[in-house]
């Protein structure tokens, strides 16, 4: 079952020096209960897409077009008070800078309680506190009964991240958007936190949209993956299919860029060239200036996302233009 349907979403930043088309016509489905990974180089629009789902794109950014259907209703059209009911309740988010999500002057417990009460005013403070303790236990914080009375600075980086996850899970969201939730944490804690999210996903039947640079993490945890390049979704499919047989030359380049794969073992082979300026992207396929396989139409015609054989397999590249397209 599809939980979230993003259709032709456009999110632009109206900056002094031009309009930055950070997300420019992205369509994507997130299914109920699935672990979906979104990858792509820095600056390709991943966070902008994640923020747009909760209508939290900061100015000068604005949704410039498209729809985001959640249970069949376009959440981009909802009045702000209805959106506030969804945000932090049915859809919640772990932001790219998680420590900024914690308020230093309130205890961890108070912050969880506040999140619960904001959406469930009928719950008593006592019950909310009990739930806060339960949540801290759920995310693997030992001594939860005592630690709800502590402040964020009394928590280690990994424990703070778990607390942020506890807040995000406080109201049993149907969709959790996790934007680089483990950046700045060491790899052991990273693995613990992702394993935890995966367990909670199964237990709570929640969908996760994980935004990451890390292909290893995508390989290990996600069911499906979408690859973004310069504001566009260029490839999507089951993770196993995309990683073992990438179709788009950009995906092929990204996979070649991880140590031990493609190029020389243990060496990171970068894709030559740089991500284009999104205020003035190249015409045609945005990847064409860097693409080793470009041919005639690539610098003029924009490739559409077309279906390929294989479950939910799609790619936007002129190499795969079917006879019908």
Residues that bind Mg ion (CB under 5 A): 47
Partner whose footprint covers residue 43, from Mg ion, ligand ATP, none (CB < 5 to 8 Å by kind): ligand ATP
Nearest to 55 by CA among 27, 30, 75: 75
The tokens describing 215, both together, are 């292909």
Q: Which is nearer to ligand ATP, 54 or 170 (CB)?
A: 54
At 314, is the secondary structure helix, strand, or coil? strand
d(CA 215, CA 254): 9
Q: Which residue is nearest to Mg ion (CB)?
A: 47
d(CA 180, CA 105): 25
d(CA 231, CA 20): 9
Exactly one of 13, 35, 70, 229 binds ligand ATP (CB under 6 A); that residue is 13
Partner whose footprint covers residue 65, from ligand ATP, Mg ion, none (CB < 5 to 8 Å by kind): none
Q: Which is nearer to ligand ATP, 15 or 268 (CB)?
A: 15
Q: How far is the CB of 220 from ligand ATP (least distance, A)?
A: 19
Q: Which is nearer to ligand ATP, 22 or 254 (CB)?
A: 22
20 interacts with ligand ATP by CB under 6 A: yes
Q: Is the peptide bond before 60 cis (omega within 30 degrees of 0)?
A: yes
Phi, then psi, of 79 in degrees rounded to 5: -65, 155
At 62, is the secondary structure helix, strand, or coil? strand
271 interacts with ligand ATP by CB under 6 A: no
CB 163 within 8 A of CB 155: yes
Say which residues have a Cβ less than 8 Å from residue 138's Cβ, sequence separation at least 6.
166, 169, 200
- Binding mask 272-301 toward ligand ATP (x if CB under 6 A, else -) reads ------x-----------------------
Window 178 to 217, contacts with ligand ATP (CB under 6 A): 213
Q: Which is nearer to ligand ATP, 63 or 130 (CB)?
A: 63
CB 96 within 8 A of CB 178: no
Q: How far is the CB of 44 from ligand ATP (least distance, A)?
A: 4
Window 64 to 123, contacts with ligand ATP (CB under 6 A): 96
Window 45 to 64, contacts with ligand ATP (CB under 6 A): 45-48, 58, 60-61
What radius of gyration, in Å, describes the C-alpha atoms of the chain?
A: 21
């Amino acid at each position: 079952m599809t939980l979230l349907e993003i259709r032709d979403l456009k999110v632009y930043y109206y900056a002094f020096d031009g309009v930055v088309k950070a997300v420019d016509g992205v369509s994507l489905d997130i299914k109920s209960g699935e672990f979906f990974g979104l990858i792509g180089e820095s600056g390709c629009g991943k966070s902008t897409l994640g923020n747009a789902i909760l209508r939290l794109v900061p100015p000068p950014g604005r949704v410039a077009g498209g729809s985001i259907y959640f249970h069949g209703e376009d959440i981009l059209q909802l009045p702000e008070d209805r959106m506030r009911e969804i945000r932090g309740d049915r859809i919640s988010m772990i932001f790219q800078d998680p420590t900024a999500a914690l308020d230093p002057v309130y205890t961890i417990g108070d912050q969880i309680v506040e999140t619960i009460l904001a959406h469930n005013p009928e719950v008593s403070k006592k019950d909310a506190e009990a739930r806060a303790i339960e949540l801290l236990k759920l995310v693997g914080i030992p001594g939860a009964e005592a630690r709800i009375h502590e402040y964020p600075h009394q928590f280690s980086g990994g424990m703070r991240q778990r607390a942020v996850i506890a807040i995000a899970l406080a109201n049993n969201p149907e969709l959790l958007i996790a934007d680089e939730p483990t950046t700045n944490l060491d790899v052991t804690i990273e693995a613990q936190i992702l394993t935890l999210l995966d367990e909670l996903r199964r237990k709570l039947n929640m969908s996760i949209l994980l935004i990451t640079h890390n292909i290893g993490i995508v390989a290990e945890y996600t069911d499906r993956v979408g690859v973004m390049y310069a504001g566009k979704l260029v490839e999507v499919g089951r993770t196993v299919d995309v990683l073992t047989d990438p179709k788009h030359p950009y995906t092929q380049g990204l996979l070649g860029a991880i140590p031990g794969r493609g190029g020389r073992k243990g060496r990171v082979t970068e894709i030559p060239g740089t991500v284009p300026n999104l205020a003035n992207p190249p015409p045609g396929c945005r990847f064409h200036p860097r693409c080793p396989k470009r041919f005639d139409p690539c610098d003029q015609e924009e490739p559409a996302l077309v279906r390929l054989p294989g479950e939910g397999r799609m790619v936007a590249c002129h190499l795969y233009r079917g006879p019908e397209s």
